[in-house]
Structure formats: C-alpha cells, structure tokens
Structure 1
Amino acid sequence: MAIRKIVEHPSPILSRPARPVTDFGKGLQSLLDDMYETMIEADGIGIAAPQVNEGVRAAIVDLGEGQEPIWLINPEVVATGGTDTDVEGCLSFPGLYGEVERPYSVKVHAQDRDGSWYELEAEDYEARAILHEIDHLDGVLFDSKIIRILTEEELEEMAAEGEEEQ
C-alpha cells in the first residue's frame, strides 16, 4: 500500500467522466488499498479514483464510527429522495468549504471490491458522501454545486460548536 498524491483542481482528470472498471484483479485491489490509505492520511471520509489520477469508476466512503468502508465500484444511483443542505469540503479543493444542496437519501447499485453487485440505501451524511464521490466519477465537482462559500470565521465557529457538543 502507498499513499498517493491527491490531484487538485483544476486538473483535467477531475472533470472527465471515469471509465467503468472491468478488471477486478490485483491492479484494482492495489489501487483501492492505496486510495484508502491516502484518504485516511488526508483525514477524508471519501475519495474517488480520479482524485489519485486514475480515471476509473471506483470510490470509497468511510465515515468511521465502527462501520466498514463502503466500496463503490461502477456505482449507479437508482433513486434519491428529499433534499438537504449542509457543508461540504473536498480533498481536491484544499481550504474550500461551502453549503451544498443534495438529496437526503440515495439508493445505489454498485460492485464491491471483488466485483459482486449489491444495493445500498443511505440517508443524511452518508448519502451526501456517497453522492459527492459518485459526482467525482461523473466528472462533476462540488464547487459547481456550492450555494454559499463559508468564510474562515464561520468554519472556526462550526468547529468550536462541534467541540462543545462532545
């Protein structure tokens, strides 16, 4: 496993739709391991292959909290419901945070690391993270969805409030 360099905006690979994964062999497994290590090192909760300069439809979401990582290979959104606006950031946009409106719930059809198909339903923050990563695979960047950019002061206030709640 290796920590890879995270591709930052405006790299062209971030704006291109990724190609489907067809080979679930050692190369993909190595890529997924590298992506996971890179995401953890960067203190992220999700990462897509284009963010490590690989143009394939592979992404990971890991909210921690004792849950297993969600491996999203060739994911397709089957259904969405409701709407929610919350703050997002992105490893490819260091220092940029903004309010983004997304569906509150999502149903996804995807493949696991071994190529097995599965369906997943998620809500709230988990749905937001999954949709953010699927957008990466479609070449859609979160800065195009920002309703309002947050200032440094607002971010500091949010962080302080979060510490008080713990």
Structure 2
Amino acid sequence: MTILPIVKYPDPRLNQIAETVTVFDAGLRKLTNDLLETMRAAPGIGITAPHVGILQRVVVLELPGMASRVYVNPRILSASNETMRHEEGSVSMPGVVDEVERSAKVTIAYQDLDGHEQTEEAEGLLAICHQHEIDQLDGIFWIRRLSRLRRERLIKRYEKLQRQR
C-alpha cells in the first residue's frame, strides 16, 4: 500500500465531478487500499479518489468502531427530512472544521469491489459521512454547505494556518 499525495484546497479538482467506475479489477483494489492508507495517515475517517486527484467515484470510510468500507459509484436514494448538525472537515483542508447540517438518515446504493449492486441504510455519523463524500464526488467541496459568512471565516482561518506552516 502507498500513501498518496492529497490534493489541498483550493485546488480546482476538488470542484470537479468524478467519473463513474466501469472497470472492477486489481487496479481498483489497489486504489482503495492506497486510499485507506492515505486516509489513516492524514488522519481522517473518510476519503474519496478525488481527494488524491483521481476523478473516479470511489469512497473509503473507516469510522470509530467500524471496519473500513469501500463504496464504488455511491449515490443517495433517499434522505430523511429530519436533520442533524455535525462538525465536518476534510483531508484536503486540514486544521479547520465547522458545523454542517445534513439529513440524519440516508439510504444509498453503491457497487462493491466486484461490481455488485448494494444498498445501505445509514443514520448519524455514517449518514453524515455518506452525504459529505458523495458531495465530494459530485464536485461539491464541503465548505459550500456553509453560509457565505461562515465559509469566508473558515477560509481565512485555513489560510492563516497555511502561512504558519
């Protein structure tokens, strides 16, 4: 496994829509293993292929108390009207977080590493992570879910952190 370089905000690739995966082979398995290693090193609990500059619809999640999971071509089938707020951040914008409001429950469809269709119901943190990472695959970087004022403040904090490094 290889730790891949992470694309950092404001790289324009973070705003591009990822392409559907059509080939389920050893290359895809290697990519998911590399994503897992990269995410752990970041550290983070979720990562997409676009976070490392590869515009493919691949997500790896590893939440506390949960084994790592891979989602290929995930999409949201339904989302609850009930919402919750949770602190979010990104491996592409380390050092800053802010609260984002999202649906408390979702049902997603995805393919596994063999290309088989699967569905999953999720709530709480897992539901938040699915929405966050699927947004990324759709070219919606998480800070776009913040109000303009909160987004501008967060960007200023991030830029200050970058200058201090």
Give the match's secondary structure for 1:28.
helix
2:121, 2:69 → 1: CA distance? 12
Q: Which moved more, 1:140-149 or 1:16-25?
A: 140-149
1:85 pairs with 2:85: yes
- Is structure 2 residue 69 aligned with structure 1 residue 73? no
Where structure 1 has 5 or more consecutive residues not aligned to the other structure, the ranges are: 152-166
For residues 22 and 143 of structure 1, what CA distance do their matches in structure 2 show? 29
In structure 2, how many angstroms separate the alpha carbons of the residues matched to 1:105 and 1:45? 18
CA RMSD of aligned residues (A): 1.5
Moved over 3 A (4+): 147-151
- For 1:52 and 1:87, the matched residues in 2 are separated by 22
Distance 1:94 1:2 in 2: 20
What is residue 130 of structure 2 aligned with on the other side?
130
Post-superposition CA distance 1:80-106 (Å, at most 9, x none): 011111211111111221110111011
Per-residue CA distance 1:112-133 (angstroms, 9 max, x = gap): 1121111000001110011111
Q: Deviation of residue 68 (structure 1)?
A: 2.3
Instruction: Give the distance between the partners of 1:128 and 1:11, measured in 2 at CA.
Output: 24
Normalising by structure 1, we get a TM-score of 0.86
Alignment correspondent of 2:49: 49
Residue 103 (structure 2) pairs with residue 106 (structure 1): no
Alignment length (residue pairs): 150
Quote the residue 1:161 is aligned against.
Answer: none
1:70 Cα deviation from its structure 2 partner:
2.2
Task: Please list every run of 5 or more consecutive structure 2 residues that lacks an aligned counterpart in the other structure.
Answer: 155-165
- TM-score, normalized by length of structure 2? 0.86
**Closer/same/farther in 2, CA of residues 123 and 39 from structure 1, 3 Å limit:** same
Report the alpha carbon displacement of residue 13 of structure 1 after superposing the two structures with TM: 1.3
- 1:39 aligned counterpart, secondary structure: helix
Distance 1:24 1:64 in 2: 28
